[in-house]
Each structure stands twice: as structure tokens, then as C-alpha cells.
Structure 1
Amino acid sequence: MSFEQLIRRDLQCFSPYKSARSIKLQGEIWLNANESPYNDEKRLNRYPEPQPKKLKALLADFYEITEDELLITRGSDEGIDLLIRLFCTYNEDEILALEPTFGMYRVSASLQGVACNTCKLIAEDDFQFDKHTLLSSMTDKTKLVFLCSPNNPTGQIIPLEDIAELAKVLQGQSMLVVDEAYIEFSKQASASTLIERFDNVVVLRTLSKAMGLAGARVGSVIANKKLTFWLSSIIAPYPIPTPVANAAIEKLCSHASKACYQQEMEDINKARDMLYTFLKSQSIVIKIWQSYGNFLLCQFKENVYQILLDQRIVIRDFSSSLDIENLVRISIGTPNENEKLMKTIREIMKQNAAI
């Protein structure tokens, strides 16, 4: 059974909008898109390419795939939204995600009238993933299964062999979406290596994290070329603004940026491991979880979130969302930022000891 049979029935014969730039024409005088004829040096008076050719080639090379297996999106968020819109019928189909995980899977589903079921990861079991528990959480309405690896906020990775086994079991039944926003911080091979074997595997990537382009919002959906074609038919006509494409191209082309990127990955991983060791040794810490992302999940005895905030150090509070008191996620910062964080925690310890 092809993945195409999982697409919404009402979209099976969908005719996409054809923008002025999607019709591939050659010319010198452009009078077909109702644009301003007055140029500036950045040519922002013209609509951008729907999928900027140079950027697409660079991203395909970076992710080691072919260009027709990639769709550029406005961050991974747009990829999530597109997949739910393509496969899930309003008030009928469902998605399945881990709990806890990235919140946009549930939000995107809710906005489109799609139920989000969850496979709960247990804190006492180090939030370990079990593929059998996941499969038992599915129903006959589950069209999309979302896996975040490394998982946000817990930090654990899902072994590639488990992803492959799931893809095989779910063929013809559900799409398996692997969100790899943080994969550069781990040594895990990408699930994009599976897309030739399994047409139901979809991979989400982003330049927001490791590449330091969060402000540009450049994401990618990686899948077999038939699926990227379907997704391209429902995406907005001009999703990638020209300045965004140029910023990403500059980053991906620059040899200095490539060298800097590799060094930054090494530095962040070392800093993460150092911060993990530091926090693990502090009596104010109840529990800290091993992470393969650029962050750590940690439970404290005190409301460290508010204490740090009073010192103008902002971390993420997960206490209410996971119902675990004083649970926070700490992103890895620069060496100076990390040192200030550790210094402040030491001061909290001293103040507690003095009381």
C-alpha cells in the first residue's frame, strides 16, 4: 500500500495554486505578477523563487539527499502543519506523539481539528522510549506518528534501528515523522537514510539550532520525491523570503562558517557534559537527565527557575506541563553564560546552607 492512499480523500484530486513564479518562464521584462517595477539593490520588489534553487542544492548536499527529496519550509513548524493538513481529515483522524515532547505537534493538530494521542514517557524510567508501548498507543485513526530525536525536552535519542522497525510495521497504516531538530548535537545517523526503503518515513530538519539561524526560520521536510511533490502543492506560494534565503546560502557556502559550525558543535557538547557533571554533583539537584541535544532537563529542590530569573538568567520552566515540581530545561550558552549560571547556582547553595 502506497503512502498516497493515506492522504486526505478530499485532496486526492487537489489542484494547487499556480503562482507567477511557479510557472517557469524566461524573460527580460516581467509584467506577470503585479509587482512594483521599481528595483532596489536587493531586488525585493520581486517575488522570491518558491523553492530557491541555490539554497535547495546546498541543503540537499548538507543533508546528503537529492534535491527532489527536500522541501524548504518556514522552520520545522510549517513542515508539521503541512503534514497534518495533507494527511488528517478534520474531526476524523488522529496523530500520535510522545509525552513529553515538542508542543507544536499537539498545537498544529488542534488548530486543524485533529486529535493528538500520546505515548507517555515515564520520568522514573529516565523517559526511555519503547516502540512496543508506542504501537499499543495507536488506533485505526492514527495517520501520523511524530518522534522527536533527540527528544525535546528530555534529550534522549531513539535508535535508528527502532525507527526502521517502526517504519516497517507502520507501512500502509501511518506516516512516521522523525523530527531531527537537534540531531547535530548527537552522533546518531539521520533517519533520512531510511526514506529510500520506506515511503512512509518523513524527516524534519532545521537550521535554527546547530547552524545558528533561528531568526531566519529555515526548515526542511525530507521524504520520497512523491511526498515532497504533494507537500509542495499545499505550501504557501512564496514561503522563503529573499533575505532569508540569502542568509542561509551565505552560511552554508562560507568555509569559515563550516569550520565555525564544527567547532561550535564540539564546544556545545563539551559544555553540556561539563554542566551535566556540575549539576549532578549539587545537593540542590534532585535529578538530571542525560541529553543528546543542546540542553539539559533538571529537577531542583528549590524554585531555581524564579531565583535565576531574578538574576536575569532565563531558563524554561516545565513544572506545570509535566506536573513535576521545580522541573526546568536549561539551554547551553556561551562559556561566560554557562559560568555565570554555575556561579549563581553555587551562591544559591551557599545561601541555603546559611539559613
Structure 2
Amino acid sequence: MNNRRNWLKQIGLGTIGLGFIPFETFANPFAEDYILPDFDNSPILLRSNENPYGPSPLARAAMEKSVNNSNRYGWDLWSELISAIAKKNNVSDNNILLGAGSTEILDVVLQYSALQKGNFIMAETSYDYWTASSEKLGIKKITVPLTQDRKHDLTAMLKAIDSDTKMVYICNPNNPTGTICDREKLVSFINEATKKAIVFVDEAYINFTKEESLSNLVIENKNLIITKTFSKLYGLAGARVGYAIAHSETIEQLSILKSSTNMSVSVVSASAALASLNDEKFIQQVYSSNNEVKKYTIDQLTQLNLTCIASHSNFIYFSLENYKKDYFKQLENHNISGTKIYEENGKWTRITIGTMREMQLFIAALK
């Protein structure tokens, strides 16, 4: 334990995982009235649901301090981060598995599900970039349409489970629609579905809501796996830090599929993640700003006669059906990067919520 503390102190992170920030040179380089930056970005990137404000002040300081220790493996640091994550989610250390972003966790769970050939079920439309390798792994993807209001149809998904189903994937809140499942209905679904298959819940955007994580359910349920990430609210998309929360026996099985259990997270990235968990001021500012800018953007899109889906995330799903101009050309002409059409019927697309200035420029581009 002393060796761990000494190593962490060298990079300015000593005892952060225990909820303390004891080093004044680390904790106080930023004023109490720190204001979220509004960068003059060009191009304006509104395509990947990134946090437009960057990493938190404490995370930036931690990253700078940890660079000099990048010649060493971060055994103790990884353990400290796991403990901090476990505490944050009210589970034990052996319920956590680190990954290079939640994408690596998605890949590992897909591999785990494919150990016994069959199928997996997910909604259409949902986050599916990670599923491209499913056929090569010998597991078939089955999609279930969303409801008319763009929510997961849990009843239909439950009915779709058959004897060959190995896993059901639910992105909650859902990407790209921004909708969220009713918690009581989702828990009921999990209780039934996990009798037959793994239920994999992606909570990448849960921190943009007041909804409670489902993490407490993994203590008793071996067939429930949850993934979370530091990419979105915490502003560490490029640092690549994500994690799985699952029953301890399930974590053991997932770990076998990784050549090095937690080593895909670098010392610099782990330091940033650990510090981020303690920067509550920054997190609250990002949360509040996202809601403020989201409301402004939805109001403006509505005034342009564009239908929006109520969003529980840091992006907005809206229809271009009534838009008379070439939407993507308008973005290109104003050096704004958006995404694509997700549903041809209704011309539904998604836009990330940037800073207020960025979204004002986005709206101006559409006009």
C-alpha cells in the first residue's frame, strides 16, 4: 500500500481514489469561479457526441504530471482507478473491468457472447458500429424496430429472444435517438431476459440524466453487463477510458478474453480519469451547460419547423423532412461537421450539442 501511495504521489494523484485531493499544487491551479471554455474551433465538430469543453481542469493537470511516469506500468494506478470507479457505482472492485473506451468493452462482450454460436438482439436504430465483426465471429445480429416515439420496444425485444439468443444489447439513453427506457420497465425486462441470455446495457450517456445506473443489479445477476465511459460527460473521448460493471464471476470470464486485463488504459489516461471523478464542479457545469444549450437548439430547430425527439443526452435527433435546403451542403459551406441520415423515412439525423457559440453558428448555417 505504501508503494502504491508513493507512486501515485509522484504523479500528483495520491489518495484521489479515496476521495481526497491533498496536494495544493495539484488541486488549486484553477480559480473557484472556473468558467467552461468556449473555443473558437474550425471546423466545428458536431458529429461524435464529444464534450466540447475538453477534459476537466483537474484531469488536465493530472495528465501533465503523469507523462513523466509513462515509462512505467501503472499497476497501482489501475487498481486505484478501479477502486474509485467501484465506489462511484456502489459495487466492489471485482465488479469492474477497464477498457480503452467503452468500445473495447463492447468488443469483448461480443466475443464473449460468440463463444457459443447463435444470435444477439438489438434495436434498430441504435449504436451499432461495434457489431460489424459479429458475422465473422459466428453470431447473427437480429434487429427489433424502435417504437413510433423512437424508444426501445422492450416487449418486442423480449419476444424476439429464442433458444439461440446469447445476448441482448440496449443503449440507454439510446444513440442516436436520445430516448431513454422507463426504469421500472427496463428492470422488469432485465429480470426476464437474463433468464435466457446476457443483457448488455450501454450507459455511455446516463450521466446526462438524473436516472440512476443499473449497476446495483449486477451483484446478484450474472447475466447483466453494464458499460460506462469517460468519453462523454468527462470529456476524455481521445484518452480512451471505459469500463464494464458485472458480477464478479462474469468479470473473470470477460478478463480471459483480454491479453492484459486492464493494461489497455494508459497511465496518462488513467490519471485523467481518476482526477475527473473528483472534479464535481466541472461535471456540474458541463451538465448544466449541456441542458441550457440543448434547450436553445431544440427551440431553434422547432422554429425552423423541424421535428425533434426529446433528448436525454448530449445530442439531438431531428427530422429534415421539412427542410427545403441541402442540409449537409449548408453544414459544409459553414465548416461544420455533422453526421448522416440514420432513417431515410423522415430523413432523421443527429447533431451533437456543442458550446452555445457553436450551436448559434449551427442554427445560423441552417437559416
TM-score bracket relative to the smaller structure? 0.7 to 0.9
Figure out how many residues of one structure are paired with residues of the other and give that number: 297
> Does structure 2 retain, via aligned residues, the 8 Å contact 1:96–1:142?
yes
How far did residue 186 of structure 1 move?
Answer: 1.4
How far did residue 325 of structure 1 move?
Answer: 5.7
Q: Which moved more, 1:50-59 or 1:111-120?
A: 50-59
The aligned residue for residue 268 of structure 2 is 243
The aligned residue for residue 307 of structure 1 is 330
* Unpaired runs of at least 5, structure 1: 1-39, 347-355
The aligned residue for residue 309 of structure 2 is 289
Match of 1:267, as an amino acid?
S
Counterpart among 59, 62, 70 of residue 96 in structure 2: 70
Match of 2:249, as an amino acid?
K
**In structure 2, distance between residues paired with 1:227 and 1:62:** 20
**In structure 1, distance between residues paired with 2:160 and 2:329:** 36
Question: Secondary structure of 1:86's match?
Answer: helix
1:158-180 Cα distance to aligned partner (Å, 9 max, x none): 12212211222123310111100
1:56-135 to 2 correspondence within 5 Å?
56-89=82-115, 92-122=117-147, 125-135=148-158
Q: Larger radius of gyration, structure 1 or 2?
A: 1
**In structure 2, distance between residues paired with 1:58 and 1:139:** 38
1:282-315 Cα distance to aligned partner (Å, 9 max, x none): 13x2x21111010001112233122112210111
**In structure 1, distance between residues paired with 2:127 and 2:105:** 14
1:34-45 to 2 correspondence within 5 Å?
42-45=68-71
**In structure 2, distance between residues paired with 1:51 and 1:223:** 21
- Cα pair distance change 1:108/1:222, threshold 3 Å: farther
> Does structure 1 retain, via aligned residues, the 8 Å contact 2:67–2:268?
no
How far did residue 104 of structure 1 move?
Answer: 2.8
- Cα pair distance change 1:41/1:248, threshold 3 Å: closer
The aligned residue for residue 294 of structure 2 is 272
> Does structure 2 retain, via aligned residues, the 8 Å contact 1:51–1:71?
no
Q: Give the 4+ runs in structure 1 shifted more than 4 A.
A: none
**In structure 1, distance between residues paired with 2:130 and 2:183:** 21
Match of 2:217, as an amino acid?
L
Larger RCO, structures 1/2 (Cα 8 Å, 6+ apart): 2
Q: Which moved more, 1:129-138 or 1:40-49?
A: 40-49
Percent identity of equivalent pairs: 26
Question: Secondary structure of 1:128's match?
Answer: coil
Question: Secondary structure of 1:289's match?
Answer: coil
The aligned residue for residue 54 of structure 1 is 80
The aligned residue for residue 259 of structure 1 is 281
1:172-201 Cα distance to aligned partner (Å, 9 max, x none): 310111100001111211111222342211
How far did residue 51 of structure 1 move?
Answer: 7.7
Q: So what's the TM-score if we normalise by structure 2?
A: 0.76
> Does structure 1 retain, via aligned residues, the 8 Å contact 2:176–2:317?
yes
The aligned residue for residue 209 of structure 1 is 232
1:305-340 Cα distance to aligned partner (Å, 9 max, x none): 22112210111112xx42236432110001111111
How far did residue 61 of structure 1 move?
Answer: 2.2
CA RMSD of aligned residues (A): 2.0
The aligned residue for residue 162 of structure 1 is 185
Match of 2:281, as an amino acid?
A
Match of 1:170, as an amino acid?
A
> Does structure 1 retain, via aligned residues, the 8 Å contact 2:144–2:153?
no
* Unpaired runs of at least 5, structure 2: 1-65
- Cα pair distance change 1:170/1:269, threshold 3 Å: same
Question: Secondary structure of 2:317's match?
Answer: strand
Match of 1:187, as an amino acid?
K
- Cα pair distance change 1:148/1:41, threshold 3 Å: closer
> Does structure 2 retain, via aligned residues, the 8 Å contact 1:178–1:202?
yes
- Cα pair distance change 1:50/1:279, threshold 3 Å: same
Work out whether 1:227 is the aligned partner of 2:253.
no
- Cα pair distance change 1:337/1:221, threshold 3 Å: same
Match of 2:78, as an amino acid?
P
> Does structure 2 retain, via aligned residues, the 8 Å contact 1:80–1:108?
no
Q: So what's the TM-score if we normalise by structure 1?
A: 0.78
How far did residue 42 of structure 1 move?
Answer: 2.3
Match of 1:121, as an amino acid?
L
